[in-house]
Amino acid sequence: MLSLSAMMTPAYLRFTSDLGNEYLYDDCSSAILPWGDDYDAILKQALGFPLTQSEGKLISSLPSGLIESKRSHIEAQRKRFCAFVRDSGSSFVSPPPEDLERLIWANNSVLVMNVTESCNLRCKYCVYASGTYSYHRGLTERRMTPDVAKEAIDWYVKSSAPQMTRNPAKRLGLSLYGGEPLLNVELIKVVLEYCDDKYPGVFIAVLTTNGTLLTPDNAALLSKHDVAVGVSLDGPEEEHDRLRVDESGRGSFKKIISNLAYIKAEYPELWKKMRTICVHDVKTNLRKVASFFEDNRESIPNASFVNRVVPANTTYYDATSEDDYAAYRAQVDDLRQKCKSVLISGEQPDGYLLGLVCSPFVAMYIRSRLMDHRNPYMTYTGACIPGFRLAVEVDGALNICERVNGTYTIGHIREGGLNYETIKRLLEQYRDQIYGNCSGCLITRLCTLCFAGCEGNGCLKRPEAFCESEVASARNRLSDYVSILEQNKSALELTLAVGSELNRIFQA
Amino acid sequence: MEYFRLHPDVFLTVGRNGSVLYDIMGPAIYVLDSEAERVLRHCESNACLNDGALLHSSLGVLDTLIDRGLGQYYSKPVYIDPMYFKHHDHLEPPAPPPYGKLSLVITDACEHECEFCPYLFEHDLSWFACSSCVRSKSIKDDADYQCQVESLLADAYGLGVTWLHIRGGNPFLDWERLQEVLTCAAKYVVLRVCITTPGTGRPIKDIISLYERDGVCLNVTVSGAAFLEAQKEEDRSLFEAQCELLGSLSERKLDFSITANIVGCEAGASEVISKVISERFGKTPYFAQFIRRSDFSLGDCRFHVVKNGKRALDIWTQPTIFYHRLINNYCLYGGIEVDNYGDIKACAGCSQCYGSVREKSLLEFAKHNELHDTWKRSKAVVSPCNECALRLACSDCHAAEQMAPDVPGGATCYCPLASMDNLYDCASLLDYHPSVFFCSADGSVMPCPK
């Protein structure tokens, strides 16, 4: 029997592929191993865990040679990779602020600039405009001034200097965000010209827009400064206009399509770097949306980011029935199977399908493995260290990213930039309020929880039943991943190549 | 059980000359005979063991591999997930290039005329100098370059360099310059400094005083032959001076290493030298050698720690090194050499010069990718290595690779296995290594012959 301390708890998850093969995901090593009931019983026996009657029976029915070979495999995995069980007493390392500073500026690669808090649309799911997200601010008329923007850029470049020195070929990401950023196009012009004049070649600029203000003048500006544009487009007219409306409830689809047609004709280089960002809710007809993007490849930019309306801290889904959820799940399952078939056949699914259902497969493919370095200050969940991605608000306040509600600012560009003591306290708060039983979790390397998903009002809180659903989701992701690769082991390589291209353009 | 698959930490490499199983965590390698190779390729394609393609007598190898913890039977075809790092190479994140080591030659001057010194030979001499002196015969003027040390080290530190290797000639002969470099280096707390020197040219108390600076250690180059009591009489005083210094360092428990040049030594000499040095100074030495182009073309290619005139295997000591080698030249990766004239190379033994710090700063130089391309020169892109099943257990020496095509018969000299079609039959050409085994289809496993 393997010798274990009392603090050791299991850290593995069993799942089954579409072909009916059983596997085990070992969270200690991130290995995926072909598995079975016999292996499981032998593992439990080897670890000294109590066996059920049927497990005991199973072991006694196995030939001794087979038991021996499986046990030696298990022991080798344990010895080589510290597999299967984790020390649940692992402690959190409190970060020294100076180490945080070093870590953050070695990893940060994008500054999100919130150039305005106003918007010309009133999308029904908007965290700012819909009124259904209790912890988010509403839309305001506040706009970033050129002074704040320039200070933010100067501060960001200065702070990134060690990283730029270390890698002179590196370029920093500058994401222009809002509200609707083109409502403050004067500032955008100032920012882009300032960057070109003072920091030529340093930034890769990205703009996220609702697409209604992509006028000829604005397109010319974005083209001139080589900006990659992400346009929100949720699907065909009836789907898009169901949710993306202006103050008087009018849809925005026609205007966007007209603007896109103009850009494609007049600014082909800008067009090449355009992508669509798609949001759906439980009532979206996903099949129709997928067909829309598939059928209009020539006239609609490739769909890159496909997200569901954020379910945390909102009343948005209060009116959604169980039947709606069931229908939604059936649609997603259907498209997931379709996508898997396409990948197994060696083809590349359309961008919308890739974003909707493929990203988990790719995430599994590039998951953190045994020899990948794990961040010592954020041992569990998928949260990054605050500061790895930065959002500067209209007044110069610094936030963890553009997705958080602003309750936890981590500094201000006019108050010395990032406050590492604050970040340290935030990490400690995350440990105290979120970690809970994380050390006993079966999927610490696969968990997707981050700050944006657990913000409360002045506190951090794990969403209700999150862990159960996350484990179930991880099991599905693992199963899909293995099911695809069981049948075509190079199925995800093309998808990764697309991901790589996206990464280069949008994540600088 | 109808299927067999290797475990995720076992890597099967097929080459023109046969197949090799790499037990990454072992570490160990198994050279397969042709039938064992056929069996494993069949299994790794997820084909059934009972489909009639394999002879029953050939399946013994599978039981052997199970016994050694390298694979397992399954009742169905299964997917084996590779145990690589996160696939950074696919996503190409904007990670900084991992500069780690800077080798800085501060002088070509030396007071000795060691028989292995490249300075004393004709211009066609090539030198493999991982941890030894790199004195070269050149007519370039180094006067302009000498003033740039401060900015050079600042740039290197900015690039992430944490290990500075100061070399010569004998750096002690330019004591002032050495002090200047050390003073500049002292500004960077994380920078560790190693000075490679014959250990002469200054009084021992001066040399010991170098240790007053944090993070400094010496690497003393000695003649391996001296420890075999085989060196010439006129070299005796040098050897005695070196032993006195090494004794002082050892007595004071200071951090130092010893590099023994084994040029001209008989086969097996390295073991004897290693034993003598360990007993006397408590250190296991590194070894260094050089070869001349004339030796190379005559087939007398001798690499580091050569035994019996055979190609030495260079088995990874950490799994990370193995994975590194799949996509990089692990030996060069992260290293940069600035010679006495400011010329930048991947290493002292490589002939290719990428530019000069006299013309542009190290930072400007780092914006270009020539050096990084060399770092990524894994054996998968080096011919004839990319056809060899043993490529992942072999020296990454790029200097040898550069020289090989340049001389008649170079490829064969670069690697004695290059012309071999069957690794298993050519076992005698492999260097003995305790982690190398020969595995046949019937399941028999033999250690590599000594």
Sign of CA dihedral A91, A92, A93, A94: negative
User: A489: which chain B residues are within 8 Å (Cβ-Cβ)?
Assistant: 79
Cβ atoms within 10 A of the Cβ of B361, count?
A: 15
User: A366: which chain B residues are within 8 Å (Cβ-Cβ)?
Assistant: 86-87, 90-91
B45 touches chain A (CB under 8 A): no
Q: CA-nearest residue of chain A to B75? A: A21
Interface test with B, best of A17, A43, A80 (most B CBs within 10 A): A80
**Domain residue spans of chain B:** 3-83+424-447, 101-380
Contact (CB, 8 A) for A305 and A379: no
Q: Which residue shows structure tokens 């493995």?
A: A369
- Cross-chain residue pair A73–B79, CB shorter than 8 Å: no
pLDDT value for B124? 47
User: ipTM greater than 0.85, yes or no?
Assistant: no
Interface of B with A in 62-81 (CB under 8 A): 66-67, 69, 72-74, 76-81
- From first to last of its 450 residues, chain B has per-residue pLDDT tens of 689 999 888 999 988 888 999 998 888 999 999 999 999 999 999 899 988 888 888 899 999 998 888 998 888 889 998 776 554 444 444 455 678 899 999 988 888 877 767 666 554 445 556 778 887 665 555 544 555 888 999 999 888 899 999 998 899 999 999 999 999 999 988 899 999 999 999 999 999 999 998 899 999 998 888 888 766 666 678 889 999 999 999 999 999 999 888 776 766 677 788 888 999 998 888 877 666 555 554 444 444 434 444 556 778 888 878 888 888 888 888 899 998 888 898 888 787 888 888 888 888 888 777 888 888 888 888 877 888 888 888 877 777 777 666 666 566 656 666 666 777 776 666 666 778 899 999 999 988 766
Facing A34 at nearest CB: one of B67, B74, B158: B74
Summarised one tens digit per residue, pLDDT across range A414-468 is 999 999 999 999 999 999 999 888 888 999 999 999 998 888 877 888 888 899 9
- Cross-chain residue pair B90–A69, CB shorter than 8 Å: no
Mean pLDDT, residues A257-270 taken together: 97
pLDDT value for A168? 73
Contact (CB, 8 A) for A172 and A206: no
Cα distances from A195 to residues A149, A154, A234, B397, in angstroms, run 11, 9, 32, 44
- pLDDT tier for residue A503 given thresholds of 50, 70 and 90: very low
pLDDT value for B298? 46
Facing B94 at nearest CB: one of A76, A81, A170: A170
User: B79: which chain A residues are within 8 Å (Cβ-Cβ)?
Assistant: 17, 21, 23, 32, 34, 482, 485-486, 489
Contact (CB, 8 A) for A138 and A202: no
How close, in Å, is residue A76 to chain B by CA atoms?
A: 7
Summarised one tens digit per residue, pLDDT across range A380-416 is 898 989 999 999 999 999 999 988 888 889 999 999 9
Residues 6+ apart with CB under 8 A from A3: none
User: B316: which chain A residues are within 8 Å (Cβ-Cβ)?
Assistant: none
Facing B81 at nearest CB: one of A31, A171, A372: A31
User: B159: which chain A residues are within 8 Å (Cβ-Cβ)?
Assistant: 165-167
- CATH, domain range B101-380: 3.20.20.70
Query: From CA A174, how far away is CA B422, in angstroms rounded?
Result: 56
Q: CA-nearest residue of chain A to B24? A: A80
How close, in Å, is residue B323 to chain A by CA atoms?
A: 10
Interface test with B, best of A165, A343, A373 (most B CBs within 10 A): A165
Mean pLDDT, residues A499-508 taken together: 45
User: Which of A262-276, A308-322, B376-390 is the least confident region?
Assistant: B376-390
B364 touches chain A (CB under 8 A): yes
Size of interface A-B (CB pairs under 8 A): 116
Q: CA-nearest residue of chain B to A485? A: B79
Query: From CA A174, how far away is CA A149, in angstroms rounded?
Result: 11
How close, in Å, is residue B338 to chain A by CA atoms?
A: 18
Cβ atoms within 10 A of the Cβ of A465, count?
A: 8
Instruction: State the SS3 of B26-88.
Output: CCEEEEECHHHHHHHHHHHCCCCCCCCCCCHHHCHHHHHHHHCCCEEEECCCCCCCCCCCCCH
- Cross-chain residue pair A485–B366, CB shorter than 8 Å: no
Mean pLDDT for all residues in chain A: 89
B318 touches chain A (CB under 8 A): no
* Domains present along chain A, CATH in parentheses: 8-87 (no CATH), 97-373+498-506 (3.20.20.70)
Contact (CB, 8 A) for B404 and B414: yes
- Cross-chain residue pair A366–B364, CB shorter than 8 Å: no
Mean pLDDT, residues A148-170 taken together: 88
Answer yes or no: is pLDDT of A499 > 70.
no
- Cross-chain residue pair A366–B93, CB shorter than 8 Å: no
Contact (CB, 8 A) for B2 and B43: no
pLDDT value for B128? 56
List alpha helices for B220-310, DSSP H.
224-227, 236-251, 269-281, 293-297
pTM across the whole model: 0.83
User: A365: which chain B residues are within 8 Å (Cβ-Cβ)?
Assistant: 87
Q: What is the CA radius of gyration of chain B?
A: 24
- Cross-chain residue pair B96–A80, CB shorter than 8 Å: no
Q: CA-nearest residue of chain A to B82? A: A31
- Cross-chain residue pair A489–B367, CB shorter than 8 Å: no
Facing A73 at nearest CB: one of B72, B79, B363: B72
Facing A503 at nearest CB: one of B74, B92, B97: B92
